[in-house]
Amino acid sequence: MGSVIWKIAVIGSGPAGFYSAGELFRQESWSIKVDMFDRLPTPYGLVRGGVAPDHQKIKSVTKIYSRIAENENFRFFGNVEFGSDIHRSDLLELYDGVIYAVGSPSDRSLGIPGEELPGSHSATEFVAWYNGHPDFREIKFNLAVKDVFVIGMGNVALDVARILAKDPKELSKTDISTYALETLFESQIEDIWLVGRRGPLQAAFTPIEAREFLDLESADVILEGGPFKLDSESHKILETEATKDTKKNIEILKQISEKNSSNKIKRVHFLFLASPLEILGNECVEKIRMVRNELIKQSDGSLRPQATNDLIEENAGLIFRSIGYHGNPLAGVPFDHNSGIIPNECGQIIDEDQDKSLRSREYVAGWIKRGPTGVIGTNKQDAVETVHRMLEIFLQEEIEPVNQTGSSSIESLLKERNVEYVTFTDWKKLDEYEKESGLSQERPRVKVTSILKMLEIIRNKKI
């Protein structure tokens, strides 16, 4: 590639963004500079704002990201929002390639009556709230209720149920946001219901997360519906094609069903084969009406839920829908509203209306590319595919690098627009500050949750 330096913009500093940067730097025959943008002053996306505070080990993956950020060809521009501070047209002018790795920040709704009542929330909001995401810190969750329903049987639903089921003392040595910890100490929650529309075999959670429910200190765990049983089709699948993880899930659920109550303060109920129909209440959530389902085999062999006539009505003070994240469109970038992703082929954005030369320069990675599935590590393979596709296309289509002269720069553009951007060195200052604040409380860090305060700390102003 001679002395050509390729400039790539990565939008989003979560796992997909960092794995993309890491893979770009691994290319020995290319000289590549990466500028990474995030709308928050803090990097790491869902590792900071999504991973549960009692899963600190998972968060240690940020050490890998921080090493990538130390590469001399890496720059971080935090507190810079795509669509308002910088636009697609700016990026295409200043960079040879753009990788959108913005994740799926919204959630899907159930589409049932009463969903908008106070006390009915998305799990994504609650997760972001207890993790101290600046956009969610002002939300009030009323935990002074007895019954909570979490709709969905994925790992996010399990995170929410576990955080509510634990004694807040157990969380007090984590990096949970201080306001969330205080609210949890006031919680009056006694019963937490996890509701899955399909059966135990179809549960979306993974065994490591399910196993944690076997030894919760402050909550008994109950499998609703008596002794463990599977419908005949599910049983056949278990015996033939079930994955190792599914088999492990079944073992764990069996163990849960055999557990005796030990009269703990709280209870977590696993309720399978039920779907919410309506959320009832005058001023706020009071009850949930559900229907029992049966599983019907589809022509493709999958088992889908079908409502029976059997209705269930339960008191509910708080309801979290946890039925999956959903992507948001980015200004000027194609978007599939149904699936919530940017249409792409192996990471290359597909836009039939677009000029071919531009189509060769825009890519996606992570959840906005494939949808909200997989664990953090899944994003590595995903980013590798995107980066390789990008470089292949650059070669195939003999893409000419833009802006080699460096006459216009992103820094001057952001300064012109009065954007107070945060560099990686700035972030390290904030990181140190948070860690130091945690020392006296034996916590890994005390998160700063207001953007203004973050910027003040970075500027070293009086706090």
Binding mask 208-227 for ligand NAP (x = CB under 6 A): -x------------------
Q: Is 49 in the site for ligand NAP (CB under 6 A)?
A: no
Q: Is 164 in the site for ligand NAP (CB under 6 A)?
A: no
Q: Please say whether the beta carbons of 289 and 278 come within 8 A.
A: yes
Q: Cα separation of 463 and 380, whole Å?
A: 38
Q: Cα separation of 385 and 348, whole Å?
A: 10
**Unique residue bearing structure tokens 């055999």:** 258
Q: Cα separation of 276 and 265, whole Å?
A: 26
By beta-carbon proximity to ligand NAP, the closer residue of 207 and 281 is: 207
- Stretch of 199-207, 332-340, 351-359, 428-436 contacting ligand NAP, by CB under 6 A: 199-207
Burial class (CB in 10 A: 0-12, 13-18, 19+), 115: middle
Q: Is 21 in the site for ligand NAP (CB under 6 A)?
A: no
- The residue among 103, 118, 106, 107 whose CA lies nearest residue 38 is 103
Taking CB under 6 A as the criterion, the residue among 69, 94, 150, 156 binding ligand NAP is: 156
Q: Please say whether the beta carbons of 139 and 304 come within 8 A.
A: no
The DSSP 8-state label assigned to residue 92 in this structure reads: H
Taking CB under 6 A as the criterion, the residue among 183, 202, 234, 246 binding ligand NAP is: 202
By beta-carbon proximity to ligand NAP, the closer residue of 183 and 322 is: 322
Taking CB under 6 A as the criterion, the residue among 69, 101, 102, 110 binding ligand NAP is: 110
Taking CB under 6 A as the criterion, the residue among 142, 155, 178, 437 binding ligand NAP is: 155
Q: Please say whether the beta carbons of 11 and 102 come within 8 A.
A: yes
Site size toward ligand NAP, by CB under 6 A: 25
Q: Which residues are within 8 A (CB) of 60 and not within 5 positions of it... i.e. 6 or more apart?
A: none
By beta-carbon proximity to ligand NAP, the closer residue of 80 and 110 is: 110
Q: Is 324 in the site for ligand NAP (CB under 6 A)?
A: yes
By beta-carbon proximity to ligand NAP, the closer residue of 43 and 196 is: 196
Q: Is 150 in the site for ligand NAP (CB under 6 A)?
A: no
Taking CB under 6 A as the criterion, the residue among 21, 157, 201, 252 binding ligand NAP is: 157
Amino acid sitting at position 327: G
Q: Is 340 in the site for ligand NAP (CB under 6 A)?
A: no
Q: Residue 209: helix, strand or coil by DSSP? A: helix
Taking CB under 6 A as the criterion, the residue among 120, 246, 275, 344 binding ligand NAP is: 275
Taking CB under 6 A as the criterion, the residue among 207, 343, 374, 401 binding ligand NAP is: 374
By beta-carbon proximity to ligand NAP, the closer residue of 334 and 340 is: 340
Q: Cα separation of 445 and 462, whole Å?
A: 20
Rounded least distance, CB 104 to ligand NAP, Å: 9
Taking CB under 6 A as the criterion, the residue among 78, 152, 327, 347 binding ligand NAP is: 152
- The residue among 18, 64, 8 whose CA lies nearest residue 379 is 18
Compute φ and ψ for 335, nearest 5 degrees: -155, 140
Q: Residue 304: helix, strand or coil by DSSP? A: strand
Rounded least distance, CB 57 to ligand NAP, Å: 10
Q: Please say whether the beta carbons of 415 and 374 come within 8 A.
A: no
Rounded least distance, CB 22 to ligand NAP, Å: 20
Q: Cα separation of 139 and 397, whole Å?
A: 49
Binding-site ranges for ligand NAP (CB under 6 A): 110, 151-157, 159, 196-198, 202, 204, 206, 209, 275, 322-325, 372-375
